[in-house]
Each structure stands twice: as C-alpha cells, then as structure tokens.
Amino acid sequence: MNHLDELENKSIYIIREAYNRYQKIAQLWSIGKDSTTLLWLCRKAFFDKIPFPMVHIDTTFKFPAMYKFRDKYAKEWGLDLIVASNQEALQKGIGYKTHDAFTCSHELKTVALQQVIAKYGFKALLLGIRRDEHGIRAKERYFSPRNQEFKWNYHDQPPELWDQYKTKAAAETHLRVHPLLHWTELDVWEYIKRENIPVNELYFAKNGQRYRSLGCMPITKPIKSQADTIDKIIEELKNSTEAERAGRAQDKEQMYTMQKLRSLGYM
Amino acid sequence: MKNYLKFVIVGHVDHGKSTLIGRLLFDTKSIPQSKIDEVKEVCESLGKPFEFAYLMDYLEEEREKNITIDTTQTFFKTEKRDYVIIDAPGHKEFLKNMITGSALAEAAILIIDAKEGVQEQTKRHAYILQLLNLSQLIVVINKMDLVNYKQQRFKEVKNEILTHLDILKLKPNYIIPISAKEGDFVDKKSQKIEWYNGPAVLEALDSFKPRVAPVNLPLRFPVQDIYEIDGEKIIVGRVESGLIKQNQEIIFFPDGKKSKVKAIKKWRQELAVAETGHCVGITLVDDIDVERGQIISETENRPHITDKFTSTIFWMSRESHKINEPITFKCVTQEIKAKIKKIHKLMDSSTLETIKDRTDEIRETEVAKVEIETDKKIAIEDFSYIPELGRFVLEKNDEIVAGGIITLE
C-alpha cells in the first residue's frame, strides 16, 4: 500500500468509527484545503451519501472566493450545509476593525460553534486539523473530549492505542474527532493532486502572491510565491522553511495563543 | 511503498528525550526558522538559555517546568527516508501518554543519562517496549559531555542496562554514547568519542525497517458498520489481515454463519480483491443478519473462539481494579462485558519484582498475567500471530484503563 493510501484508509476508518459511535455528528467545513480534503474522505467513506451535515462557522469576514466555493460545491455534492454565525456578536459590532483577533476569534468562532452545537445537539465534530500545523496540535488525540465549558483538558488526555478511541462521552459536551491528524501539509497537497479535489483559487499564486492557509480576510496575509499550479505548490513546500500558518496573524499575537484558544474551545 | 518510519523516544524523566528530538530536528534542518525564533523568544522571556527541548514541549506548563506532559509527534527527514518521531513523557504519572505514543511506533530509542544511569522509568519503559513487541531498539547513553566523554562510564551504564534488557529478552541493535546538547553522535560521529566505532543515531535509524503487513495470513475482517446505500446493504470494515476476494466463501464469527462475497466496494470503484489495511465495503449473495463486532474469516484457518483466555495486561488508570468487577473488553470492533476472574501473577513494571501480598487487585503501572472471562464468545488470536486480534483494551466508566496482549496456550 502506498503512503497516500495508508493515510486515506486510516482516516476513513476514523470517520466511520465516529459516525458509528455517535450518529449525531457533523463536520466543520472551513472551505480551506484541509477540511475540503476531509469532506472528500467523508464522501468516500459513505459512498457519496454523507449521513451528517457540514457546518460552516461563518464569521462573515471570509474571502468572497470562499463563499463562492462553498455554495458551488455544497450544491454540486448535495451537501446538507449548515451556516452558523454568532448574530448577537455581529449585531454588537464585533469585528477586526474594532476588536483584537483573540476576541474576534472567540466571539465569532468559538461562541458561534457553541451555539450550533447546542441547537443541533451534536455529540461529535469532525475537524481537519493536522499534527504538523503547530506544536500544540501535535499533542492532540484522534478523539479528543471537550468538557461542558468546552475546554480541552490537555493535562489529562485519554490514552489512545491500537485504534481504540474514546468513544463514549458522558460528562463531556462533545468530542472533537481529527481524522487528518497524521497528515502533513505536503501529504494534503499530494492527495489533492492525486484525487483531483477542487480547492479554492486563493491558494494559487497571482501577481507573485498566494495564500498558504485561509482564515478571516483582515488577519490572513498572502505569502510571496510563484506557485500557480498544484505541482508548483508541492515543489514550493518541499523547499520551504517557513511555517504554514506564518500568514495567520492570530498565532503570533501572543506566545501561547494557540494553546489558549484551543483550551477555550476554538477549533 | 511507504518510505517512512515511526519511532518513539522513551526513558526516565530528564534524561534528555525532548533535547534529543530538538537536536534531530535541528541537525536535519526540519524546523522552520520562525519556530526557532519563537523558541528563542520564549527562552529569553523565561530567562533561560536556548533549549532544544522547547522545540517539542509546547505546552506552557511543559516549558515552565521543563518536563514533557503529553506525547508529541513530529516529522523530519534524512536522505534515506521520512520519519515520524514520537516523544513520550518520562514521568511515572504520564505513563498512559507514554503508552499511547509507543503503541504507534515501529522502532524505539531508549535514552539513559550517563551520569544517573538506569532509573525507575528506564526499566519500566523497557518493559512496555517488550510488551508492545518493539524489537528494533537503539539505546543511547546521553549527556556524555557531563562525564567527560569517558569510555569507562559508558561501559558501566551499558552493562547496567544490558542486565535489565536481558531479563526482558530484549536485544538492542545499537548502544550509542551521545550528547544531544552538544550534538555528538546524533547526526554524525564526533572526535570527542573517538573510542566508539559504531554508527551515530541517524545512521542507526536509517538501518531499521518499516513494519510491513505480513502476507499469507488468514483473512480477518471485523465488521465496523452496516450502511444502507440505494437500497443495498453494505458491510464496511478494514481488512486486518489476509485478503478478501470477490465470490469468496466467508464465515461470520463468533456465531459461525456462512455467506459469500458478492462485491467489494470502494467509492466509485469495485475491486476483485482487497488487501490488508484497506477499508472497504462488501455486499453478500444472501441477506443474513450482520452486526458490528462480528469477525469475518475465511473458511479455513479460523480464529480462536472463546469466552475465557489468558493475557498480560498493563494498568494505566489511577483507579485500581478488583477481580470480578465488571469491565468492558474491546478488541478491534468487538466490545463486550467482561471480568478479570483471576490474577495469576502481579508485577512491578519497573523492578520486575512479583507482588506477593496482593492477589485480588491491580494498580496503576502494574503488569499482571490474568484470566479474563467475557459475557459472550469472542474471536481472538495470539498476539505474535495476528497482532490486530491479539491485543485489546479494557474500559471502565467509559475510560480506557488497561491494555492487554493475548497469549494462547
């Protein structure tokens, strides 16, 4: 079995395990390359009939190209799409012009997510995070419990061995399930190439710039790049010494932001 | 073919696991400059000199207390291949994290502080490696700089660890003197240790082989779920061993119902054969009752069907457990109520001493040979024959509390 097949089979096993154990689940689809790859794997796992919704946490600050991409493929792939925003926060005027990235992220992502979980009663959420994105994510489990306050207790994570996962959540509100945890950024691009998965045009270089990671428009910066095809992106990554999320301001604002955001329940 | 190897670094707390990993990443140029800068910033703000260990220890508490709490996985590459390094914490209280990390590995590095020598967790971790059947092993004797690179001290520690490994019947492939901090014998040989002729750590790692699923084992296909897609019943699961073929006669265990494979499905694809490791869906020629947890097998070479078996378990939970208390047994997709009926032998996993004054209770970090009885019959195998069906976890109050290895007599 080749490397990509191995990654794919492991992910499909986890996706099916999550659905079998919880039923009331959803996938978070941020419209980026990772969650779109995860969505692709869900289509494979369920023979095109994904039995749960895709949730887009919409801060309303995403790139127009992302909304266009979302609507196109939600229709084409027949997805059950839930778009969720924290309306109260938006009405109060919380946004990147007036508030810091941490507040925006908390209000527009975490709180919006809490609302959608409460509304639909989801017991587990599939997310496309990967270990190589950030050191904190390298410590994640495939099935990662969140307590009632939505917190990630990274001090005391459940053991995980031999594909036996934390598959019951009594006290916890829900579990985060991470089927792509063992993939690298390069793996994702090589898989996108092999499978011909559609990805957003923002990833490809225009006028010497491209986005390597997509977040909210005001805090996401492009990198210098000439990579305007998947092959060129793969080549670029093989030679890059820059961190993937270098263009995401929120990581740099504070030394341990990522850990704090995660423990607060940010995806 | 895959060209990467997953290895775990284990050993006693503070013997230098995270430092060795930081050094490996640094020497192989696997860390973005921005990460090195981030670590420099953190070290400065904490008023400490630059620490390689911080490249792995990301949690705030880990950096403040200089210990690894949870297992971390990271990636690097040599000219030969890609690696996944699993950093396992060395504190006794984080043993479950050490096991979580080690269970994924194909090879291991056991690190020992040249000054301190073999310690409690050195021995315990060696035992866990042996239980998990991790036979590709490098012992590194670290911090040689602190003992002036003396060959005599290296020999003393080497003999100390070999004595212990010998009891466990573990034979290390290499025993290497290194200084992770100074970079001696990590990515290359060093003048400071001219008396040592063996390879440096990277060269030793490059000599190991990735685990390859053995061919010619009998078919074992645990039922994971059953989907109804366009009016058709599709049984999904992963081929844990052997091959499944179209038109093949199969048996569902433990009840022994027979059927025949009509089609093997992947997304938008039908296969004639599916190999070990593949997640596939199958349809049957007839409509028999199928449920999760059944083990599909070929008609020859059937699995062992029983409700009573002997195994070695290691206890990971803080809560101790008494015999005859209810517990859940989980092996592949089989999940069933069970009891530990008898403890044949109870051991301290570090000293390997038998605990004689207690026969009815197992406690954290202890290892025991036990008799397990399940409520219904299950399909199992000897761990050394088909590992996927020869290992299991025990769950109590929805938490995994122990891992176990089955030995069939």
User: Taking Cα atoms as reference points, which of B383, B367, B389 lies closest to residue B316?
Assistant: B367
Residues A108-137 have a mean pLDDT of: 87
What DSSP assignment string belongs to B38-51? Answer: HHHHHHHHTT----
Kindly report which listed range (A179-188, B86-95, B353-362) carries the lowest average pLDDT score.
B86-95
> Per-residue pLDDT averaged across B374-382, rounded?
96
Task: Note the pLDDT of residue A254.
Answer: 44
Does residue B139 have a pLDDT over 70?
A: yes
Q: Say whether A44 and B266 touch across the interface (CB within 8 A).
A: yes
Question: Mean pLDDT, to the nearest integer, of B229-256?
Answer: 95
Residue A81, strand partner residues: A54
Mean per-residue pLDDT, A3-27? 94
Q: Which residues contact B9 (CB under 8 A, 6 or more apart)?
A: B17, B20, B21, B85, B86, B87, B88, B108, B109, B111
- Phi/psi for A84 (5° steps) reads -125, 130
Summarize pLDDT for B53-69 with one digit per residue, the tens. Answer: 776 665 555 655 655 65
Q: Which of helix, strand or coil describes residue B95?
A: helix
Q: Say whether A164 and B393 touch across the interface (CB within 8 A).
A: yes
Most confident of the following: A106-110, A134-138, B370-374? B370-374
pLDDT at A251: 47
Rounded-to-integer distance, Cα B27 and Cα B186, Å: 8
Rounded to whole angstroms, the Cα distance separating A51 from A53 reads: 7
Q: CA of A45, closest CA in chain B: separation in Å?
A: 7
* Cα nearest neighbour of A40 on chain B: B267
Rounded Cα gap, residues B57 and B34, in angstroms: 16
pLDDT mean over B361-380: 94
Please report, rounded to a whole number, the percentage of residues in chain B having pLDDT higher than 70.
Answer: 94
User: Smallest CA–CA separation between A167 and chain B, in Å?
Assistant: 8
**CA distance linking residue B59 with residue B62, whole number of Å:** 5
Chain B residue numbers with beta carbons less than 8 Å from the beta carbon of A168 are 398
With a threshold of 0.80, does the pTM exceed it?
Answer: yes
| Tokens (6 digits) for B320 | 């101790």
CB < 8 Å to B268, chain A: 48
> For residue B345, how many other CB atoms are within 10 A of its CB?
13
pLDDT tens by residue, A179-235? 999 998 999 999 999 999 999 999 999 999 998 888 888 888 888 999 999 999 999
Which of chain B's residues have a Cβ under 8 Å away from the Cβ of A49? 227, 229-230
For residue A161, the cross-strand partners are A164
C-beta atoms of B399 and A158 within 8 A: yes
Nearest to A158 among B2, B400, B403 (CB): B400
Task: Decide which of A244 and B359 is more confident.
Answer: B359
Closest chain B residue to A49, measured at CA: B229
**Residues in CB range of A200: below 8 A, 6 or more apart:** A31, A32, A33, A36, A63, A65, A66, A69, A214
Strands B273-274 and B137-142: unpaired
| Predicted local confidence at residue B315, as pLDDT | 93
- Nearest chain A alpha carbon to B329: A164
Nearest by CB to residue B277, choosing from A1, A135, A136, is A1
Q: What's the rounded Cα separation, in Å, for the pair A215 and A62? A: 7
Would the CB atoms of B41 and A17 count as touching at under 8 Å? no
Confidence band of B386 (pLDDT split at 50, 70, 90): very high
Of B405, B392, B388, give the one whose Cα is nearest residue B242: B388
Q: Which of A13, A241, A255 lies at the smallest CB-CB distance from B238? A: A13
Least trusted range by pLDDT, from A51-65, B1-15, B276-290, B334-348: B1-15
Measured between beta carbons, the chain A residues lying within 8 angstroms of B32 are 240-243, 246
Residues B13-29: what's their mean pLDDT? 86
Average the pLDDT over each of A181-185, A238-242, B256-260 and give the range with the smallest value.
A238-242
| Domain A3-184+253-263 part of CATH 3.40.50.300 | no
pLDDT band for B348, please (50, 70, 90 cuts). Answer: confident
**Closest Cα of chain A to B273: distance in Å?**
13
Q: Omega before B254 cis (within 30°)?
A: yes
Looking at the predicted structure, is the pLDDT value of residue B220 above 90?
Answer: yes
CB–CB contact B278 A48 (8 Å): no
Closest residue in A to B274 (Cα–Cα) = A1
Q: What is the pLDDT of residue B384?
A: 87
pLDDT band for position B176 (cuts 50, 70, 90):
very high
Nearest to A159 among B100, B227, B230 (CB): B100
Per-residue pLDDT at B238: 97
Distance separating alpha carbons of residues B334 and B305, to the nearest angstrom: 13
Q: Give the DSSP H or E segment for A239.
A: helix A230-239
pLDDT of residue B136: 94
pLDDT value, residue B1: 46
Q: Can you say how many angstroms the Cα of residue B25 is from the centroid of all Cα atoms in its chain?
A: 22
Instruction: Using the predicted structure, report yes or no on whether residue B346 has a pLDDT greater than 90.
Output: yes
Backbone angles phi and psi of B348, in degrees to 5: -80, 125
The token duo for B73 is: 């996985």
* Among candidates A155, A168, A241 on the partner chain, residue whose Cβ is nearest the Cβ of B33: A241
Domain limits, chain A: 3-184+253-263, 201-250
Q: What is the pLDDT of residues A152-170, one digit of tens each?
A: 776 677 788 888 888 776 6
B397 burial type by CB count under 10 A (0-12 exposed, 13-18 middle, 19+ buried): exposed
Q: Do B393 and A161 touch (CB under 8 A)?
A: yes
> What's the pLDDT at A255?
44
Q: Which residues contact B121 (CB under 8 A, 6 or more apart)?
A: B11, B12, B13, B90, B91, B92, B350
Q: Is the pLDDT of residue B307 over 50?
A: yes
Q: What residues of B are in contact with residue A163 (Cβ under 8 Å)?
A: 332
Give the best residue of A2, A123, A161, A255 to mutate against chain B (max B CB count within 10 A).
Answer: A161
Q: From the CA of B398, how many Å to the nearest CA of chain A? A: 6
Buried b (16+ CB within 10 A) or exposed e, B30-42: bbeeebbebbeeb
Cα B154 to Cα B139: distance, rounded to the nearest angstrom: 12
Identify the pLDDT of residue A267.
43
Question: What pLDDT score was predicted for residue B263?
Answer: 96
Q: In A, which residues are within 8 Å of B73 by CB distance?
A: 131, 138, 182
Minimal CA separation from A90 to chain B, in Å:
32
Nearest CA to A16 out of B222, B389, B398, B381 is that of B222
- For B265, nearest residue in chain A (alpha carbons): A47
Mean pLDDT of all residues in B232-239: 96
- Choose the closest CB to B34 out of A6, A155, A242: A242
C-beta atoms of B400 and A5 within 8 A: no
The tokens 């061919």 sit on which residue? B215
What are A40-70's pLDDT values in tens digits?
999 999 999 999 999 999 988 888 999 999 9
Please indicate whether residue A153 or residue B81 has the higher confidence score (pLDDT). B81
ipTM of the prediction: 0.89
Which chain B residues contact residue A246 at CB under 8 A? 32, 34
Q: What is the mean pLDDT of residues A69-93?
A: 94
Instruction: Determine the pLDDT at residue B48.
Output: 73
Q: Give B210's pLDDT tier (boundaries 50, 70, 90).
A: confident
Which one is predicted more confidently, B252 or B38?
Answer: B252
pLDDT band at B198 (very low <50, low <70, confident <90, very high): very high
Find how far residue B58's CA is from the centre of its chain: 22
- Chain A residue numbers with beta carbons less than 8 Å from the beta carbon of B390 are none
CA distance B401 to chain A (A): 8
Please state, rounded to an integer, the average pLDDT across all residues of chain B: 89
Minimal C-alpha gap between B225 and chain A (Å):
7
Put simply, the answer to whether A45 touches B316 (Cβ < 8 Å) is no
Q: Is the pLDDT of residue A239 over 70?
A: yes
Count of CB pairs separated by less than 8 Å, A with B: 144
> What is the reported pLDDT for A262?
54
CA-closest candidate to residue B5, choices B85, B72, B98: B85
Task: Report the pLDDT value the prediction gives residue B67, as an integer from 0 to 100.
Answer: 59
Quick check: A249 pLDDT over 70? no
A47, A154, A182: residue with CB nearest B59: A154
Q: Are B16 and B67 in contact (CB under 8 A)?
A: no
Q: Is the CB of A134 less than 8 angstroms away from the CB of B72?
A: no
pLDDT in tens, A94-120: 888 888 887 888 888 888 998 999 899
- pLDDT tops 70 at residue A178: yes
Residues of B in contact with A136 (CB under 8 A): 58-59
* Residue A261 confidence (pLDDT) above 60: no
What's the burial of B308, exposed, middle or buried (CB within 10 Å: 0-12/13-18/19+)? Answer: exposed
Q: What is the mean pLDDT of residues B314-329?
A: 93
Average pLDDT over residues B197-217: 88
Percent of chain A at pLDDT > 70 equals 86
- B226 pLDDT above the threshold of 90: yes
Number of Cβ within a 10 Å radius of residue B65: 11
Q: How confident is the model at residue B336 (pLDDT cuts 50, 70, 90)?
A: very high
**Both structure tokens of A171:** 């006290």
Q: Do B32 and A138 touch (CB under 8 A)?
A: no
